[in-house]
Amino acid sequence: MSQYSHLFTPLNLGFTTLKNRALMGSMHTGLEEHHDAPERLAAFYAERAAGGVSLIVTGGIAPNLAGCMFAGSTMLNDEAQIVRHRPITQAVHANGGKIALQILHTGRYAYHADAVAPSPITSPISPFTPRELSHVEIEQTIADFAHTASLAQRAGYDGVEIMGSEGYLINQFLVARTNQRQDHWGGSVANRQRFAIEIAKAVRAALGPNSIVIFRISLLDLVENGGTLAEAIELAQALELAGVTLLNTGIGWHEARIPTIAATVPRGAYSWVTRALKPHVGVPLIAVNRISTPEIAEEILAKGDADVVSLARPLLADPEYLLKAQSNNALEINTCIACNQACLDHVFEGKPASCLVNPRACRETELNVVLSSLAKTVAVVGAGPAGLSAALTAAQAGHVVTLFEADAQIGGQFGLAQNIPAKAEFAETLRYFSVMLAKYKVNIQLNQRVSATSLAGKFDEVIVATGVIPRMAQIAGIDHPSVVAYPDLIAGKVVPKRKIAIIGAGGIGVDVADYLVNGLHTGVEGQGSAYLAEWGVDTTLNSQGGLCAPVTHAPEREVWLLKRSKGKPGAGPGRTTGWIHRIGLQRSGVHLWGSVEYLKIDDDGLHLRHDGEEKCLPVEQIIVCAGQESVNSLYTELMSLQQSVHLIGGALEAGELDAKRAIEQGFLTALSL
């Protein structure tokens, strides 16, 4: 019997029963537009259905040309398109699941010249000014939603989700921020809600009484001049009367400057918003965002915050999340660390989504671990993310694996990074590897520095994943006692001072700055109230958009984050998370300086030239984050001894530390043995 009693209690929807209370939330994978989308999406969703997901919601599909995210993105508005969807629905049904198509009209978020909206107001996240929809076009758009729903039903979908949140078209009609009309579709609250309600009615009529209709409703816009809870309650009650089966509670517009799903957000941080709606409607409610572990999901359901939880990225990271939880093997779950680096970042770069901790995600048709016909003896040297990935994958393929690590614990740079507030979730990945390496009987040798002669001829294959060492900057006085290498600081070997300069503002420099000003806070559960206060979320839900003045704290340290190149530093490498880092550092009073020329270091501090002016920062400590150098001499020596050897991770390419690349390289190298 699983310890997660609420998570696996069936949910009766009247005409259908879901076997558990977790669904797979909508997530655009970037596969939708590929020529082989039917095959790849079928494999992707089927694996999640086989892993215990009772209901899957697809990525957003446009009901018409104007609603597309970009020119050429996927629509379902013609019978000829049905054939691309049937393999997907058939695969999910064959594996015991149900699937709903999300209908999404982007409105002013569209990244093309044919964008439309309730009013011609440009979005801050798109360069295109939308055209205002006419009354006739609004009526046609409602009909288009219903037509797409009908086509989805014919394609085998068990229902649809109407995307009415996150700042897309329906959400744009709901609030005065984006709807400045004075006709039948704007002005009063009732008029602004009419579009959403009419769509729900039309979709229900098109599908009949026995299909699932989910409406994703925005409960917390997190933008100025957004909606209120009272308005959301009024809309939710009207949607229930219109025949909606489930209400999925969306949090935050895409243009909002408050994080909602990044690792800085505490786990389950927004379920209290769903709870605020619960007494006012009779249909089941779905909670979303940062429900990364079964414990968080179970807690949300046990407290009565929601009737269902939505899991998106957690099922990208581990398709067997629910199966492992139900069989009391939750420690084997490959937990989502909310990094966004291979999922959202990829999609925004026009690439198919994947997952940093699971390189197979969205590549299920091409990457599979199968037992090797010839079991080999394999040595993996280095237990950072690349080595851990290689060791586990090789063992899963049936090889006999020994993992050597010079340190007293596994993790390498990844283990070091878990001390950074925004990367506390990295500990989950190390827990996963520890459990799985033991399960597959990998022989782990800690505190073991190996030589080429001790390995050559003893193993069929050697994988060198010896990582990197910090590069010291070439500055006069770099050997001054005030200078500290970043690993010593993050590992706790050095106590931080009150006035600190950070040389180098790449990802590591940003992490160090975060550690210095936010080191007592983490992105895991238990910090929800502090997080909401610091970012200015109105927990009373009385204000428009759910905003209030952020609570600020006097910084404990004065920190300068410095870089040689032009521009203000502080974003780090993440495309969808960089702004979060920069805002957080600015609020903590970190000085963000670009165009810096380092002159010398002495007892007075760090001498530099900034914007053409020579200055001396009177700092007590200087943290060097000036890049890394690969450690790969072992590889060279093994090659000279004619040992079959592979080089991966930071040992192959130092650059900006990249756990995504490291884990993928380890995985692919092990598959190639």
> What CA–CA distance (Å, rounded) separates 447 from 430?
17
| Phi and psi torsions of 403, nearest 5° | -110, 120
Q: Write out the two tokens for 633.
A: 């001499």
Asked whether 399 and 673 are in contact (CB, 8 A), the reply is: yes
Closest CA relative to residue 414, chosen from 383, 380, 446: 383
CB 82 within 8 A of CB 42: no
The residues, any chain, with a CB within 8 Å of residue 607's CB and separated by 6 or more, are 598, 599, 600, 601, 614, 615, 616
Q: How many residues does the structure list for the chain?
A: 673
Pairing type for strands 645-647 and 591-593 reads unpaired
Rg of the chain over Cα atoms, rounded to whole angstroms, equals: 26
CB atoms inside a 10 Å sphere around CB 377 = 13
Site of tokens 């429900």? 291
Instruction: Please enumerate in sequence order all residues whose Cβ is within 8 A of that of 89, keeping only pairs 6 or more positions apart, or say none.
Output: 99, 155, 156, 157, 158
Strand (E) or helix (H) holding 250: strand 246-251
Q: Which residues pair with 142 in a beta bridge?
A: none
Is the Cα dihedral 26, 133, 255, 31 positive or negative?
positive
C-alpha to C-alpha distance for 320 and 325, rounded to whole angstroms: 8
Catalytic-role residue among 168, 531, 598, 635: 168
Amino acid identity at 428: E
Residue 157: active-site member: no
Question: What letter does residue 118 receive in the DSSP assignment?
Answer: S
- Structure token digits, residue 358: 């699971």
d(CA 188, CA 169): 18
Instruction: Enumerate the active-site residues.
Output: 168
